[in-house]
Amino acid sequence: MTPVRRHVLLWLGQRLAGLLLAGGLAIHLFQVWSVGGAALVARPGGGVGWPLFYAGVVGLALIHGGLGVHGLWRERRHGLAALSIQRLTGIALVLFVPVHVSVSIACVVCPALAATVFQVAALPLHRGFEAAVVALVVGHGLGGLRVLALEGLLWSRGQKALAWIAAGLTMAAAVAVPAGAW
């Protein structure tokens, strides 16, 4: 494989993993909203469906985040030019997701730890943190879908409308959490 072809396919892989990840995280957020984090961790039944689903989501996050970080490193000389909102939220998620996944797995394995974690999660301060995380995920996801629309559908004239829609929905998601809708 030529270096150019590898470069192009890695770029495509990052975009496709992001698209699938957006769907997976939408399902995850809906699950958290509908049954709650505690019920998710203590989900009864011995089926393999949900574990496989979350393994897939984590795998996609590894591919998407890994290739994203690789791109950031390659373009580190860009400085401010690379610090778009999409990349800033991506960096924040790359820092958050490993902690979130590790704590979640620990909670599934150890119910005693889960009780402590959900006590902390009930603190008012933690609601603000949840709002920030939801805003990050929704903002990064919608921003990514916007880029996919621009690049895949050649829809660059819709740039501003897409950006405003993404920003508006992100704000709505961020406000919905402390407002108690979550």
Partner 1 sequence: MTAGEVITVTIRRGGEHGAPVPVDFRVPITGDPTVLDLVTAIQRDQAPDLGYRFSCRVGMCGSCAMLVQGRPRWTCRTRVSLVARRGRLDLAPLPGLPVVKDLAVDMAPFFEKWAAAGGGFRPCESGDAVLALVAPESPARRNADAAIECIGCGVCAAACRVAGAEPGYPGPAALNRVWTLVNDVRDADGPRRLAEVAGPGGLFTCHSQGACTACCPKGLDPSRSIAGLKRAAVLAALRGEP
Binding region for partner 1 (CB under 8 A): 2-5, 7-9, 11-12, 74-75, 77-82, 84, 147, 150-152, 154, 156-157, 159
At 51, list the tokens.
């574990």
Closest to partner 1 by CB, 7 or 43: 7
Q: How far is the CB of 5 from partner 1 (least distance, A)?
A: 5
Cα separation, 14 vs 64, whole angstroms: 5
Q: How far is the CB of 68 from partner 1 (least distance, A)?
A: 12
Q: How far is the CB of 173 from partner 1 (least distance, A)?
A: 23
Closest to partner 1 by CB, 57 or 170: 170
Q: How far is the CB of 88 from partner 1 (least distance, A)?
A: 13
Closest to partner 1 by CB, 9 or 35: 9
Q: How far is the CB of 79 from partner 1 (least distance, A)?
A: 6
Closest to partner 1 by CB, 5 or 46: 5
Cβ burial, residue 160 (10 Å; 0-12/13-18/19+): exposed
For residue 168, count other CB atoms closer than 10 A to its CB: 11
Closest to partner 1 by CB, 4 or 125: 4
Q: Please answer whether residues 71 and 14 qualify as being in contact, where contact means their C-beta atoms are separated by less than 8 angstroms.
A: yes
